[in-house]
Structure 1
Amino acid sequence: MPDKPRKPWLAGVLTLVTRGLGHLYAGYPVRGLILFGIEQFLVFAFAVAASIYTPDRYLLVLLVIISLAFNVLCIVDAVDMARTHKDHYETARYNRWFAYVGYVLVLSAGVSTVLSGAIKSYLIQAYHIPAASMEDTLLIGDHILVDQRTAAREPKRGDLVVFAYPEDPSKEFVKRVVAVEGDTVEIRDKVLLVNGSSVPEPYVVHNEPTMIPATENPRDNLAPVIVPAGSYFTMGDNRDRSYDSRFWGFVPSENVKGTVRSIYWSWDRTARAVRWDRIGMKVL
């Protein structure tokens, strides 16, 4: 095999592309595979932790620190391994461009993609809030974590949920569950009643002073309706500016993706600034 000394800086760059790729280049493929496996385990462990324990800002900071520390460790280790061969290195069969491409495709684009898909489908998923229907609970620019475990897909009254919009499943909405199957829902002059009793809703805001009669639309007045089996009645916290179950009906249980747990990032696009006080905030 030809003598091609390793370049430490290149080993570091390749490690940034995919964990273990720099080690493959440096002549330590097994070491690289082990580090790649550790990375995937950490990703899975983080997802499990985030779904079981509602992530506050301290947990989020801890996860970021661990992730950054591990990535720095991998880069430094790859550079050190390459330095052992910076003056002399007989290339192996795996030191070919197609082997590097195959490594990235199989591990990064293959294993990582499958694991990421499983996590998003069964554990936790991140969403971005693009509209104002849930203000002030959720603001435009908030990025939320949604628990997608089985139990989280069976929400209770008061839970915030992500669901596929019944009239167009390609769209996903975030609303609050105000009634479950068997409940009778009614709205009188903007006051929500469930099973005949008014519901305390400290999170609700009304930004429109006008009162719309039921003969025009159901925003402020809704005749009693019973939530059918396997369904939910959802509403936005920004009641006067939310398109929800009052207008298009019930949410089938199979449409529910999960329950909102916390805000992991928030960007105020008007002020062009991070809302630091909202990062790690639990959603109630």
Structure 2
Amino acid sequence: MSRTAGSYIRWTLALSAITGAIGGSILASPFRLGFDVQRLLGFPSCLPSYVYFLDYRKPIRAPKRGDYAVFSYPATNLGVGAREGQRAVKIVAALPGELVEIAGTELYMRGVPWAYDRLWLAKSISGKTVGDFDAKYKVPEGTWFAYGTEKESLDSRYFGPVEQSRIVGYAKPLF
């Protein structure tokens, strides 16, 4: 083997080892960047930002109001949106013991109307009308109310509170 070929092989092996070590440490890290691909492609989206910093550190802490939680979707049986187990990012809008009321297209959290949003998605769900989602309840222990920021977001307004055990991490919108 020539000196040049041997040098090339050593450099290739060294760079492969370095790349593997860096890639492995990135994959082993609890931190990631997440992209809202739907928004980037020009489709309707449920997220308020294009890029997120994702934190998957264990153990997962209890959610706080205003957190952006990364969770696995529950079964919705609505025939729209994400399938059970797919990951999503939503805002933690209500915590255990807090009052949520859905009346027609109106949403009230802790007795306060969320006037900037309505139940737009209900019009798109086959076999459902807006009034089918009317509810008034206190968020049960061990659950939280997931809220999307876009008008057609599939969130707790349609499928109810989400179990805290479904949270896999938290996100921070970057831009």
TM-score (norm 2): 0.68
Question: What is the identity percentage for the equivalent residue pairs of Structure 1 and Structure 2?
Answer: 25
- Match status 1:229 vs 2:144: no
Equivalent residue of 1:238, what SS? Answer: coil
Q: Deviations over 1:146-182 (max 9, x none)?
A: 1123576422112211101111553112211111111
Question: Match of 2:156, as an amino acid?
Answer: S
Question: Match of 2:71, as an amino acid?
Answer: F
Task: Tell me the CA shift for residue 194 of structure 1.
Answer: 1.9
Q: Does structure 2 conserve the Cα–Cα contact (< 8 Å) formed by 1:154 and 1:253?
A: yes
Unpaired runs of 5+ in structure 2? Answer: 39-43, 76-82
Match in the other structure for 1:249: 160
Q: Does structure 2 conserve the Cα–Cα contact (< 8 Å) formed by 1:153 and 1:257?
A: no
Match in the other structure for 1:166: 74
Question: Match of 1:159, as an amino acid?
Answer: D
Match in the other structure for 1:124: 31
Match in the other structure for 2:3: 5
Q: Does structure 1 conserve the Cα–Cα contact (< 8 Å) formed by 2:123 and 2:130?
A: no
Q: Which has the larger radius of gyration?
A: 1
Structure 2 counterpart of 1:148, from 56, 60, 84: 56
**Matched residues in 2 for 1:250 and 1:175: separation?**
12
> Do the aligned partners of residues 250 and 262 (structure 1) sit closer, same or farther apart at CA in structure 2, a change above 3 Å counting?
same
CA RMSD of aligned residues (A): 3.6
Q: Does structure 2 conserve the Cα–Cα contact (< 8 Å) formed by 1:148 and 1:259?
A: yes
Greater helix proportion:
1
Higher RCO, 1 vs 2 (CA within 8 Å, ≥6 residues apart): 2
Question: Match of 1:13, as an amino acid?
Answer: T
Q: Does structure 2 conserve the Cα–Cα contact (< 8 Å) formed by 1:235 and 1:246?
A: yes
Task: Tell me the CA shift for residue 249 of structure 1.
Answer: 1.8
Task: Tell me the CA shift for residue 255 of structure 1.
Answer: 0.5
**Matched residues in 2 for 1:143 and 1:187: separation?**
30
Equivalent residue of 2:141, what SS? Answer: coil
Greater strand proportion:
2
Question: Match of 1:125, as an amino acid?
Answer: R
Equivalent residue of 1:19, what SS? Answer: helix
> Do the aligned partners of residues 173 and 224 (structure 1) sit closer, same or farther apart at CA in structure 2, a change above 3 Å counting?
same
**Matched residues in 1 for 2:170 and 2:73: separation?**
15
**Matched residues in 1 for 2:164 and 2:119: separation?**
30
**Matched residues in 1 for 2:87 and 2:137: separation?**
24
Task: Tell me the CA shift for residue 230 of structure 1.
Answer: 0.6
Q: Does structure 1 conserve the Cα–Cα contact (< 8 Å) formed by 2:53 and 2:173?
A: yes
Task: Tell me the CA shift for residue 233 of structure 1.
Answer: 1.0
Unpaired runs of 5+ in structure 1? Answer: 21-35, 44-107, 264-280
Task: Tell me the CA shift for residue 187 of structure 1.
Answer: 3.1
TM-score (norm 1): 0.45
Structure 2 counterpart of 1:216, from 126, 129, 149: 129
Q: Which aligned pairs between 1:34-73 and structure 2 lie closer than 5 A?
A: none
Equivalent residue of 2:3, what SS? Answer: coil
**Number of corresponding residues:** 158
Match in the other structure for 1:19: 18
